[in-house]
Amino acid sequence: AAKTLARRALLSSKSIGGIRGMASLDAYDHYGKHVFTGSVADAYLKKHGASGDILKDPTWTKTHADVVAAAVLDWAVDNGANTFCHWFQPMASLGVRHGQTGQVQNMMMEFDRSTNDIKFDFKGKDLIRGETDGSSYPNGGLRGTHCAGGYLALDTSSPIFLRGDTIFVPSALVSYYGAALDEKTPVLRANAALNKQGHRLLKHLGLDTKEHGGLVTNIGLEQEIFLIPRDEYYRRPDLQLTGRTVIGKNAPRGQEMCDHYMAPLSSATPALACMQEIQEECWKLGIPLKTRHREVAPNQFEFAPLFGSNTTQIDQNVMVMQIIEEVAPRHGLAALLQEKPFNDVNGSGKHNNWSIATADGTQLLLPKAINAATNNEYAFPIIMSAIVAAIDEHGDLMRMAISSPGNDFRLGACEAPPAIVSTYLGEDMTFYLEHFKDGKGTGEYVPGVKTLDLGVDEIMPFEVPAEDRNRTSPFPYGGARFEFRAVGSSQNVSLVNAVLNTITAEKFGEFADAMDAGKDPMDVAREALNKHWRVIFNGNNYCEEAQQMLTDRGIWRIDSGVEAIHTLSSEKNIKLFEKMGVMSKEECEARETVLHEHYTGTVEMEALCLVDMINQHIIPAVKRAESGPLAELEAAVPKIKDAVAAIHAAENAYEAAKLARVLRLETMIDIRAVCDAAEEVVPADLWTLATYKELMFLDSHVAPAIEEIYEVSKFGKKTRKEQLLIENHNVF
Ligand code: ADP
Ligand code: MG
């Protein structure tokens, strides 16, 4: 009945005000149809004599692989698919261009040469494992071309999905020796560590997590993006090749009016229809992108899904990024996922909302829930103490995990928290924990509420949490979850979540060790709080005095992303990852190398784009206009080239990355100023690159009516129907 009612509501809202209703009846029916889980999987497995329940036990890959493969094939054929791939995420994959996943697509068909007959063929062995040559993927020395075997193993924690004619099997990628070559494997290992150590700790607190299906981590990933006019995007080699503008004079209008954030998603721009179509595509894959709104900067937008288990959410977020990039062109737009596409307006983040729960739903970070489940009024503060300790001790790793190249321009700037890793718990909980720590006061923590009375009869007084929210903290607590706010928009958040779970697992384990040795759980927690209290900071993280104060306290502060990446191989951190069984020394070092190489590669592309833009656009424009800083521009080019040559000559990846950082944050910024000065004086008709005004204001670009013909890159003019056809055949 609920479903029918909801449908009716959707139907009636379908075409209000001429805005195309995303949630058409069809789309509603298609929810999750292209993901092999829940009722979809259940129906197909039943046809083959099993049931959806078998998927809950990961050993199905040993016991039921053929049945599942048969059901998947059946489902595939019903949906017009005849191809499959093991789908993986190579190390350091950032969602700038193509979502950065790996896949080799194979037909699920057998061809008989003698009869020329064809038939479908897909077995358990095809489904659960694959082998690939992955030596061309970043591997940090874990694999050479002469020993290039890469093994793909199906990840039972994230469902198989279907797009167009292809089945995608989420998989881990490891070397012949089992070393992680991907983003996924460390997360799975960190989940196992958290599950194991959490079980030990919670047993002491009164809950056997094994009786509740173990522990899971839930995350919800808010995704910020820019949507810009595609024709202007083609007039910016830097955006096309690197995802950010390396030059560009500010437009006369920026964020001065604070008029973009949450402003109407007006149908007067193509953005709304684009966002609707993104939601629709995600809908089919069982990704409920529930929230959409405009963000702070002009042309900046955000989506947020309903949270869920971390590996599934990471895989889905990677798909969301890919879908965003694919759908935007159909609306005459280009989607920018990079963290800082434009100077002087807000950049984009991806808030990683993070919580721990038992598989059957008891939330560990929700005081009432965990205290009730353990029948222990101090379970919550004890768990909290462990997390506080983890943040204080391993803030360097949290900083490392968010060191994406784009975050260079975000962290510490006004829109993202600084590179100092403190946590906000709120005055209320801090007050409680302080008393708990000092042994004053008893009883459980009950989050306060207060009543807001607007003093008018028309609106009744209503309750709000006693805590305000702190958007300046990199890692604030928010009722039932922590929100890692400093994560970059283009990141694959695997490493972020591997770190969060590893550092928490370690502390849970240390607490359990002490309790195993007979120590009182309250004393263990109190000692940890005393030792790590300094990491709690409820004030304004943007305030410089506060930053100095936190620095003086000795909180982890690593301003340079390159240095933060280097902490991956510090003695402390290798010990941690090895102890928790998440990464070996070799894997840590390889990952560090990959991240440094990735950083350097990014900078090099940006530098070479800048050279091209100066030579091919700016110098000619300045010459034609007979005004502007010609000599300085001409001098800039060899400066960049020399710096790139020096990077190439560096003795290792770390040294190269350090030089790249100087090139990017010093040399290129100085040169940018010269370019922007030229832009200021060259007449508009002689300036051949798209300007910030042209890139950042969609309002002048009128939304095409949805049935209207519009242009798509090399495919020429297409109707919307033709567009979808192209997309379904993966022509893009
Ligand atoms: P904001 O933080 O911007 O106010 P929301 O409150 O809508 O946004 O939540 C943002 C994200 O946090 C959503 O993806 C939501 O599903 C997720 N979220 C909410 N509760 C939890 C939780 N307990 N664990 C993990 N993620 C959560
Ligand atoms: Mg948020």
Three-state DSSP class for residue 359: coil
Model pLDDT, residue 415: 67
Residues 6+ apart with CB under 8 A from 393: 503, 507, 532
349 lines ligand 1 (CB under 6 A): no
CA 342 → CA 464, 618, 676, distances in Å? 36, 18, 13
Under CATH, which number does the domain 31-182 receive? 3.10.20.70
State the residue for tokens 């190579």: 90
CATH 3.10.20.70 segments of the chain:
31-182
Model pLDDT, residue 123: 96
Written as one string, the DSSP assignment of 63-76 is: HSHHHHHHHHHHHH
220 lines ligand 1 (CB under 6 A): yes
pLDDT at 476 over 80: yes
Model pLDDT, residue 15: 38
Average pLDDT, the chain: 89
Q: Which ligand is nearest to the CA of 369?
A: 1
497 lines ligand 1 (CB under 6 A): no
132 lines ligand 1 (CB under 6 A): no
Query: Which atom of ligand 1 is closest in space to residue 221's alpha carbon?
Result: 14
305 lines ligand 1 (CB under 6 A): yes
Residue 623 or residue 29, greater confidence: 623
Determine what percent of the chain is predicted with pLDDT higher than 70.
89
Measured at the CA of 410, the angle between CA 408 and CA 416, to 5 degrees, comes to: 140
CA pair distance 50, 68, nearest whole angstrom: 8
Three-state DSSP class for residue 335: strand
Model pLDDT, residue 489: 95
Measured at the CA of 140, the angle between CA 138 and CA 141, to 5 degrees, comes to: 115
CB atoms within 10 A of CB 47: 12
CA pair distance 603, 619, nearest whole angstrom: 22
Query: Which atom of ligand 1 is closest in space to residue 479's alpha carbon?
Result: 23
Distance from Cα 477 to the centre of ligand 1, integer Å: 11
Mean pLDDT of 650-675: 97
Written as one string, the DSSP assignment of 137-181 is: S--TTS--GGG-EEEEEE-TTS-EEEETTEEEEEEEEEETT--B-
Distance from Cα 534 to the centre of ligand 2, integer Å: 24
CA pair distance 590, 466, nearest whole angstrom: 46
- The HSE-up count of residue 464 (CA atoms within 13 Å, CB side) is 10
Question: pLDDT tens-digit profile of 501-510?
Answer: 999 999 999 9
Contact present, 45 and 71 (Cβ < 8 Å): yes
This prediction has a pTM of: 0.91
CA pair distance 668, 602, nearest whole angstrom: 13
Question: pLDDT tens-digit profile of 398-452?
Answer: 999 999 999 999 886 666 778 999 999 999 999 999 999 999 988 999 988 889 9
pLDDT at 19 over 50: no
Conformation bin of residue 426: beta by default, left when phi > 0, alpha when psi is -120 to 50: left
Quickly state the pLDDT bin for 52 (edges 50, 70, 90): very high
| Ligand 1 mutation target, pool 219, 303, 353, 387, most atoms within 8 A of CB | 353
Cross-sheet strand order for the sheet of 308-309: 308-309, 215-221, 352-358, 482-484
Distance from Cα 516 to the centre of ligand 2, integer Å: 38
Burial of 476: CB neighbours in 10 Å, binned 0-12, 13-18, 19+: buried
Question: pLDDT tens-digit profile of 281-320?
Answer: 999 999 999 999 998 899 999 999 999 999 999 999 999 9
Q: Which ligand is nearest to the CA of 351?
A: 2
pLDDT at 603 over 60: yes
Query: Which atom of ligand 1 is closest in space to residue 307's alpha carbon?
Result: 16
The one-letter amino acid code at 320 reads: V
Query: Which atom of ligand 1 is closest in space to residue 354's alpha carbon?
Result: 25
Instruction: For 649, list phi and psi in degrees, rounded to 5.
Output: -85, -5
Residues 6+ apart with CB under 8 A from 39: 32, 52
Range among 96-110, 138-152, 579-593, 695-709 with highest mean pLDDT value: 579-593
Question: pLDDT tens-digit profile of 385-402?
Answer: 999 999 999 999 999 999
In this structure, of 258-262, 325-329, 631-635, 674-678, the range with the lowest mean pLDDT score is 258-262
Quickly state the pLDDT bin for 590 (edges 50, 70, 90): very high
* Angle between the N-to-C axes of helices 494-516 and 184-205, in degrees from 0 to 180, rounded to the nearest 10: 30
Model pLDDT, residue 44: 98
CA pair distance 499, 401, nearest whole angstrom: 7
Quickly state the pLDDT bin for 132 (edges 50, 70, 90): confident
